[in-house]
Amino acid sequence: MTYDDFAGRPRTGWDMHCHTVFSDGTETPEELIRQAKAMQLLGVAITDHDTTSGWVPARRAAQSLGLPLLRGTEITAEFDRTSVHMLAYQYDPNSPHIARMFARTRDGRVRRAKIMVERLSEDFPITWDDVLDQVKEGSRTTIGRPHIADALVAAGIYATRSEAFQGAVSGGSEYYVPTPSPTALEVVEAIREAGGVSVVAHPADTGRNRVLLSDEQIRALVDEGLDGLEVWHRGNAPEQRLRLLALAQRYGLLTTGGSDWHGKGKPNLLGENVADPETVARIIERGAISPILPPAPEEALSAK
Ligand code: AMP
Ligand code: FE
Ligand code: FE
Ligand code: ZN
């Protein structure tokens, strides 16, 4: 028995964390649904960064291919200088607070990416147009460092996106500029106002932050209405998973899982981490919008 089995990692279920061409994934929502169906996942959630642009194509594909779908977003935030990603599921996309927040963050992302490219262009042959060439859905795509990384790959500076993330686009590089972000407390509040379910994404990913969210910070998010923690994610080390499970137990939080799939942009494999169907049923109960459940919901929501 592995450490993971001991901690109760679900084997089959829903991949609750997937990116597409509407942010920094390389594949379309249709391709996400096709692959998830082919590998017999119970369902998936689309969670592009700071947008709902992929929701309509994802719904169409889920309906036509017959795969259950939740609609969500991975929201950029910060908590006392620690970068935090919040997953929001099943919320009303027309809720003014959350919609305004996304618009602001996407504008900030563009401004920040342009400054990074300006700095990079002093040492590398890349322009803003080269970055835009890597953006698949125009202004409907949330721009991020991955698009800059892809431009550096196209220019022959790096062999892969991941290599660029080890180099010039890394968080520690001289070219790095942070994205202006709302606080995690504001994000939890906005998700609650929109009737959604809030989950801290990869809360213990030391690859993203040297200083992780503390127990006290997580407690503060719980007081604001936080619903869950993404325990099953490759970025959370085994001993951190046990810490997160204990916190979830203490505060009555949902424990979810997802691959953080970015298609060919990252090594993460679709379905490598999942949430169990009972947890997904809780999320659906709490959420403001209907899940897409074709054609047999009872199959998707009960354990095999
Ligand atoms: P940004 O949000 O613009 O600061 O860029 C960070 C994002 O890059 C995170 O969402 C990562 O998941 C994403 N990303 C995509 N591909 C990679 C990769 N190959 N290595 C590291 N991060 C990546
Ligand atoms: Fe990403
Ligand atoms: Fe993330
Ligand atoms: Zn993600």
Tell me the pLDDT tens digit for each residue of 76-111.
999 999 999 999 999 999 999 999 999 999 999 999
Query: Residue 2: what pLDDT?
Result: 47
| Å from CA of 74 to ligand 3 middle | 7
Query: Residue 291: what pLDDT?
Result: 98
Q: What is the mean pLDDT of the chain?
A: 95
Identity of the amino acid at 107: D
Element (H, E) at 85: strand 82-89
Q: Count of CB atoms within 10 A of residue 190's CB?
A: 25
Q: What pTM was computed for the model?
A: 0.96
Among positive and negative, which fits the CA dihedral 283, 286, 288, 289?
positive
Among positive and negative, which fits the CA dihedral 261, 265, 267, 269?
positive
Q: How far apart are CA 87 and CA 107, in angstroms?
A: 20
Q: What percentage of residues in the chain have a pLDDT greater than 90?
A: 92
Query: Residue 29: what pLDDT?
Result: 98
Pocket of ligand 1 (CB under 6 A): 24, 144-146, 161-162, 165, 179, 262, 265-266
| Å from CA of 296 to ligand 1 middle | 35
- Band (pLDDT 50/70/90 cuts) for residue 300 is low
Ligand closest in space to the Cα of 106: 1
Q: Is the pLDDT of residue 6 over 80?
A: no
- Which of ligand 1's atoms lies nearest the C-alpha of 207? 21
Q: Which two tokens stand for residue 194?
A: 């929109």
The torsion of the CA quartet 207, 78, 175, 161, rounded to 10 degrees, works out to 50
- Band (pLDDT 50/70/90 cuts) for residue 10 is very high
pLDDT digits (tens, 9 = 90+) for 174-193: 999 999 999 999 999 999 99
Q: Is the pLDDT of residue 299 over 90?
A: no
Ligand 1 probe mutation, 21, 82, 131, 145, most atoms within 8 A of CB: 145
Instruction: Please answer whether residues 147 and 134 qualify as being in contact, where contact means their C-beta atoms are separated by less than 8 angstroms.
Output: yes
Q: How far apart are CA 117 and CA 130, in angstroms?
A: 10
Instruction: Find all residues with CB under 8 Å of 145, minimum gap 6, and list them.
Output: 24, 113, 116, 165, 169
| Å from CA of 143 to ligand 2 middle | 10
Q: Is the pLDDT of residue 119 over 60?
A: yes
Q: How far apart are CA 135 and CA 285, in angstroms?
A: 35
Q: Of 167, 166, 126, which is closest to residue 148 (Cα–Cα)? A: 126
> Distances from the Cα of 97 to the Cαs of 161, 184, 190, 212, in angstroms?
33, 14, 6, 27
Identity of the amino acid at 136: K
- Which of ligand 1's atoms lies nearest the C-alpha of 24? 15
| Å from CA of 13 to ligand 1 middle | 25
Query: Residue 8: what pLDDT?
Result: 84
Q: Which residues surround ligand 3, an ion (CB under 5 A)?
A: 85, 201
Query: Residue 1: what pLDDT?
Result: 37
- Band (pLDDT 50/70/90 cuts) for residue 11 is confident
Q: Is the pLDDT of residue 160 over 80?
A: yes
- Band (pLDDT 50/70/90 cuts) for residue 295 is confident
Query: Residue 4: what pLDDT?
Result: 56
As a whole number of angstroms, the longest Cα–Cα distance in the chain is 57
Q: Which two tokens stand for residue 158?
A: 């790096």
Q: Which residues surround ligand 2, an ion (CB under 5 A)?
A: 24
Q: Is the pLDDT of residue 304 over 70?
A: no
Instruction: Compute the half-sphere exposure of residue 48: CA atoms within 13 Å on the CB side of its CA.
Output: 28
| Å from CA of 45 to ligand 1 middle | 18
- Band (pLDDT 50/70/90 cuts) for residue 268 is very high
Segment 17-37 mean pLDDT: 98
The torsion of the CA quartet 276, 278, 284, 287, rounded to 10 degrees, works out to -90
- Nearest alpha carbon, ligand 1 atom 4: 145
